[in-house]
Amino acid sequence: MDKVTKYRQIICNFLTQQGKIMPLGETIESETIFDEKLALLRRSRWDRYLLIHLGWNGQKRIYSVLLHLEIKDDRVWIQENNTDISVSEILLEKGVNREDIILGLKPAFVRQYTGFGVA
Amino acid sequence: MDKVTKYRQIICNFLTQQGKIMPLGETIESETIFDEKLALLRRSRWDRYLLIHLGWNGQKRIYSVLLHLEIKDDRVWIQENNTDISVSEILLEKGVNREDIILGLKPAFVRQYTGFGVA
């Protein structure tokens, strides 16, 4: 299995698993959104993976992107994390190379000091 | 062309067009995310379409879901709209039936009074 196929599986499994943890409230849904098609059309490897909670808490609208990961140029970008989980630690544990993890949530000039990848 | 194929094209064209309007600042990217694969796996028609702006304004992280539409049970759901565009008006103009548009941003009990679809 090539590296990107493995990364793709790791991310899909992780988000699917996280998506099974039900949000508070029966009227809030957990949605995984995996866009792998655009990558094929563009003939580049740019996949996007999101986990979103949306619905209603009484009359209050709930909409929150919990996690947003991407595979871009064979590397895994963490673009959004509204959980208490360290996604980079989980990716490392599951077998993503440290230099292939890009902390998109940190400004570009900081990334060289994080021990993780630099774009 | 069947109804859902038409709706899919309308939504993809609309978000792609909106995605070409560049966000303020060169370091902010506009991303369209189309998930149509999950629908096939689930053998149901549940497609998700998002437009996201993400990047940096200096050292400030920018992350915003501008638009989130879905096709669920042959109907078009508007799940998020952080623009000044009336998405329902545009969908109507492009040929989506009024009763097939669900204003997901309104509480369910209000939808019967909107003139649009009820889930």
pLDDT tens, position by position, A86-99 = 999 999 999 999 99
**A32:B54 CB<8 A:** no
Average the pLDDT over each of A30-34, B41-45, B99-103, B105-109 and give the range with the smallest value. B41-45
Identify the pLDDT of residue B97: 97
Contact A92, A101 (CB under 8 A): yes
Identify the pLDDT of residue B39: 52
The per-residue pLDDT of chain A, averaged, comes to 90
Region A49-59: mean pLDDT is: 94
Q: What is the ipTM of this complex?
A: 0.89
Average the pLDDT over each of A55-64, B40-49, B61-70, B96-105 and give the range with the smallest value. B40-49
Greatest C-alpha distance within chain A: 48
Of the residues B16, B32, B35, the best mutation for testing chain A's interface (the one with the most A CB atoms within 10 Å of its CB) is B35
Question: Element (H or E) spanning B70, and its range?
Answer: strand B60-72
Chain B residues with beta carbon closer than 8 angstroms to that of A71 = none
Whole-number Cα distances in Å, B14 to A38, A67, B11, B42, B68: 16, 25, 5, 25, 12
Of the residues A33, A46, A56, the best mutation for testing chain B's interface (the one with the most B CB atoms within 10 Å of its CB) is A33
**A33:B56 CB<8 A:** no
Phi, psi of B112 (to 5 degrees): -65, -20
- pLDDT above 90 for A46: no
**Which one of B35, B80, B108 has the shortest CB-CB distance to A35?**
B35
Burial class (CB in 10 A: 0-12, 13-18, 19+), B24: exposed
A113 touches chain B (CB under 8 A): no
- Neighbouring CB atoms inside 10 A of A38's CB total 16
> Given pLDDT bands bounded at 50, 70 and 90, which one contains residue A39?
low
> Given pLDDT bands bounded at 50, 70 and 90, which one contains residue A43?
low
